[in-house]
Structures are given as structure tokens and as C-alpha cells.
Amino acid sequence: MKAKCVMVLGTSSGAGKSWLTTALCRWYAQQGYKVAPFKAQNMSNNARVVASHNGLGEIGSAQYFQALACYAEPDVRMNPLLLKPEADTHSQVVLLGEVSDALTQTPWRDRSEIVWPQISASLDSLRADNDIVVIEGAGSPAEINLMASDIVNLRVARHADARCLLITDIDKGGAFAHLYGTWALISVEDRNRIHGFVLNKFRGDSSLLTPAPEILEKMTGVPTVAVLPMWWQHGLPEEDGVFDDRSKATGLITRTVAVIAYPRISNLDEFQPLKNVSGLRLIWARSPSDLAGLGKEDWIILPGSKNTSSDLSWLRSQKLDQCICDHANTGNFVLGICGGLQILGEALIDSYGVDGNAAGLGLLSLVTTFEPNKTVKRTLAKLGQVRGALSPLSGLELSGYEIHHGQTTAHRDMLENGKYIHEIAVNLAWQNNEGNVTGIYMHGLFENQDVLKALFGSQTITLDSVFDGLAEFLSRHMSPITLQKLIA
């Protein structure tokens, strides 16, 4: 028998679909069901390396974490289509884990019918293997300009015969209009699939909502099944480009970590563990003023980038390049991860039109050459002798993943002229002579518990406990009877 399907739709992006889907995944899994997540199409530069039919591929980070919440092994069926924005009007298309140049060049509306067979086959395959599939929609199902080419919201709901929840962010205001407007703009057939409204991020006394939920139910026939209080400290990694500068730092702040938030930032979810370190303040830096006042104990991190040369140009336009170099040249710590590593080098060389040519910041004697083929792999590496702020990591075995086009090597001419580069993991990580500038290709450094313990003397909460907390929170604010009715 095919799995029952529960789907989370939203009145907009950022309404809370990913959060609620993850909570539902863990709650149903806790009831003893075999559960899998699904999102037909995700637009995000946060990606993870997972199993695919051809070995390894990419899916959106949200579906990766949702799979873990299900106690399931993540695979490409859970997010068959991933769009990775490279510019304001252009995205790289990843189908079933692999980059498709043909689809990347195909117009948006023409793409839907080409990819629908793979999307529906992935969903059917998951339904055959599981008891429940929890499906996440994208944006809003009521975008009337996109309905004809929809492959992620109502078309998926119909194909899966899913029972749907519609969630809205009440903190932004206009929640009841958003719910009613979304309901009113979709067909009668699709309205009948909506089994409950969910108000998310509510502050204050919920009794003040009366009589709005009752009026809305009279108008639509759909009950409000949950009012979820504002809860930004749940510990789930951030999704998409939504930045929350609030951290869990408690007590005396002993270190600030400033992550450069350039426009094409990728894999920002890997910094979630830093938000949970006692005494550490995590901030997103977009201008020199954000870096003002950083001291010798404070770090600057250049994260991954989906378009390294473009983000490097942005750094310079914002005058952040000089701030980063000043921080490093006075002996303070700078870390580059993946695209950030490439930016720290001497040059970016692109002979294939993959990313673009550019001069780097020159803080590491490295050269990056871009190639058409993308490196997508899981990584297990043992660090050699590490210097500077990361010296406690010497000899540690690390696990993570790599997703990048560029290949980086030492700049031979500079080394011959007296410059120095210290390779701490072969073809993976390098430092300058002093050890205060480090670059590494591996994502997930701070998701290693041994790293957190070695660097900060403490360990953060585990992902499993985060997922359990989401399920417990959900069961307090949504009736278990409602949750069971969705799969009846």
C-alpha cells in the first residue's frame, strides 16, 4: 500500500514550512511509522551531499535534516529538483543530485513538464518504501502567475492525494487575510485538501485571537488547528537566506565570530552549532561597521559562495576586503570555507566560464582553477600539525562534505620568491606561516563534536535532541488527534 501523505503549504516564503515539516517528520517517526520527507523543488544554496543512483549527489539542506528527523538515510528522491541561485536572474539546476546544463539553460516555464516525470517517480518511489511521506511546499500555492507550471505545490498534493496544512507567519501581520486569500485563490478541489490552518510565531495571549479563527472557519470550513508561539531558539539550522543574528550566547561574551554574509552565501546552516556555544556571539557581517571593534580573540569567517568571483567583487565594493586583510595582518584569526578559501588566495582562474577570473585577497599563497566538473563528495580527513587558533585540532579526524567547482593548489611562483603555505590536510586545508589565516574546502567543520570541544571546551546540543524538541513542541500546541487524523 502506498504511504499516506501529509503536506505543509505556506502563505509565503518564510512562513515556517520547513520547521513544521521537520517537526512532523520526527513526531510521526516517534509513533513508530516509517517516514520520509519530500520537496519537489527547492531553491537554496544550502545543500548537502547524499546518496544517489549514480553514487553521490546534492539535495537541499532542509530535506537532509528532515530525513535525519525521520531516522532515515537522506537520498536524492527527497528533493529531486534543486535550484542554486548564481545571480538574481539565473540558477544552476540540479536534477536527482546532478547538475544539468541543459535544464539550467531551459526557460523556467518550459522546464516543468520536462522534470515532472522524475519528480513524480521520486515521490511514488518514496511512497512505496514508507508508511508516511511528509511533503513540503514552496513559497505560496496561490501564485496565480505560476499555477500553470506548478510542480511543487498543488500538483504534488493532487498526485500524492495529500492532506494539507496551511501555515502563516502571524508576526508579520495580516495572517488571517493571508490564509483566506490563499484559500480563495485556489480551486474548490484543492481547497478541500486543506485540513487545517496554522498560525506561526505568535507573541502574547492567544485568547486575543478570538473570534478571528472562528470567523475564518465559518468562511472557509477550515479550522485553525494550532497556534505556535514565537520560538527562535529551537536549534534547527537556518534555511535559505534568512538571517537571525540572535544567538544563544549566555553569560560573559568572550569571543565574537563574524560570518561575512555576501549575496551568494552558501551552506550557512553549518554555523548553527556556533550559535549554541556558551560565551560566543555569532553575527552576520555585511558592512565594515559590523566588523568594527573586533579584538584579538575574535574571528572572521568567509563562508561558502555559489559565485565566488561575484561575491569577491561585492566584498571590495563594500570595503570589506580591507577590513578582512587588516584583521589578518594584525595577527587575528580569519577562516575561509570552500568559496571563502578561494577568496583568501592569490587568484581565481576561469578558462571555462564557470565562475569568473579575479585577483584574490592574497592572504594565502594559493591559486584556484575552475573546472566544468563539480566536486561532490563526503570527506573524512585527519589534520596534521595545525597552528594558531585552530592548533587544538592537530591530529583530529574530521568528517564533512565538499561541493565546489574550483581546484586549489599552492602558488609556485610565490613560494619560489619566499612566500609560505602550510598544508594541514592534502588538497583540503592550508594555513599561512603564522597560522592565523586558514582555508579549508570541507563544509561541516563545526558539526564535529570533537572540534567544538577542542576549540571551545564545550559541546552543543545534538541534532537528535533538536528534532525531539521540535516534536515535543508540536505535540504541546497541536492536538495528537489532529495529527493522527491527517493520516487516517
Contact 294, 326 (CB under 8 A): no
Give ∠ CA 277-283-285 in degrees, rounded to 5: 150
Enzyme catalytic residues: 338, 443
Q: Is the pLDDT of residue 29 over 90?
A: yes
Share of the chain above pLDDT 90, in %: 75
Which range, of 44-48, 314-318, 389-393, averages the lowest pLDDT? 44-48
Residue 453 CA to its chain's centroid (Å):
24
Confidence band of 198 (pLDDT split at 50, 70, 90): very high
For 343-410, the DSSP string reads: HHSSEEEESSSSS--EE---SSSEEEEEEEEEEEEEEEEE-----GGGGGGTT-EEEEEEEEEEEEEE
Confidence band of 238 (pLDDT split at 50, 70, 90): low
Tell me the average pLDDT across 27-36. Answer: 98
Which CATH superfamily includes the segment(s) 4-234+466-485?
Answer: P-loop containing nucleotide triphosphate hydrolases (3.40.50.300)
Which range, of 43-47, 260-264, 290-294, 335-339, averages the lowest pLDDT? 43-47
pLDDT digits (tens, 9 = 90+) for 347-373: 999 999 888 999 999 999 999 999 988
The predicted pLDDT at position 429 comes to 96
Which cell numbers in the block locate residue 95?
536534477
Q: Is the pLDDT of residue 21 over 90?
A: yes
Share of the chain above pLDDT 70, in %: 95
- Which residue would you say has higher pLDDT here, 232 or 78? 78
Rounded CA gap, 170 and 15, in Å?
9
Q: Is the pLDDT of residue 169 over 50?
A: yes
Sheet holding 132-136, edge to edge: 35-38, 132-136, 4-10, 163-169, 194-202, 224-229
The predicted pLDDT at position 45 comes to 86
pLDDT digits (tens, 9 = 90+) for 118-139: 999 999 999 999 999 999 999 9
pLDDT digits (tens, 9 = 90+) for 428-443: 999 999 999 999 999 9
The predicted pLDDT at position 91 comes to 84
Q: Which three-class secondary structure state does DSSP give residue 331?
A: coil
Tell me the average pLDDT across 184-213. Answer: 94
The predicted pLDDT at position 242 comes to 44
How do the domains of the chain map onto residue ranges? 4-234+466-485, 255-460
Q: Do domains 4-234+466-485 and 255-460 have the same CATH topology?
A: yes
Phi, psi for residue 302 in degrees, rounded to 5: -100, 110
The predicted pLDDT at position 436 comes to 96
Q: Which three-class secondary structure state does DSSP give residue 252?
A: coil
Which cell numbers in the block locate residue 75?
537520498
The predicted pLDDT at position 249 comes to 53
- Which residue would you say has higher pLDDT here, 195 or 45? 195
pLDDT digits (tens, 9 = 90+) for 395-424: 999 999 999 998 999 887 766 666 778 999
For residue 5, give the nearest of 35, 29, 43, 32 by alpha carbon.
35
pLDDT digits (tens, 9 = 90+) for 243-284: 555 545 556 888 999 999 999 998 888 998 898 888 899 999
* Domain at 255-460: CATH code: 3.40.50.880
